Amino acid sequence: MQTLPGYVIGAAIVLALAGLASWWHWGSKRMPLIVYVIGVAIVWAVALSLAWFIGGFARFSTFALVCVGFTLGMLAMYIAVHVYKT
């Protein structure tokens, strides 16, 4: 049976592959933002997995709340980049 950290690591791998495919499709003009988003997703996946294994559910839930807030901020940044193009 899969555990939550397994799903988090799996999601990070899927995001990394999607970013690589989109970089290949669009070229290097959007690469810095994609690299940033994928890098942050992988770091959060590792941090959440460590919080789950080391601190249990209580520490994981604290880190997950911070991760959700950071993800909402990153989503707002991503939308702003595409809405307010120069």
DSSP string, 6-41: HHHHHHHHHHHHHHHHHHHHHGGGGHHHHHHHHHHH
- What pLDDT does 8 receive? 66
Is 0.85 topped by the overall pTM? no
Structure tokens at 59: 């520490």
End-to-end Cα spacing for the chain: 48
Domain ranges for the chain = 4-83
Between 23 and 14, whose confidence is greater? 14
| Selected residue with higher pLDDT from 33 and 74 | 74
Query: pLDDT grade, residue 1 (50/70/90)?
Result: very low
* Exposure on the CB side of residue 68, measured as CA atoms within 13 A: 6
Question: Is it the case that residue 61 has pLDDT exceeding 80?
Answer: yes
Percentage of residues in the chain having pLDDT higher than 90 = 0
Residues 5, 55: contact at Cβ < 8 Å?
A: no
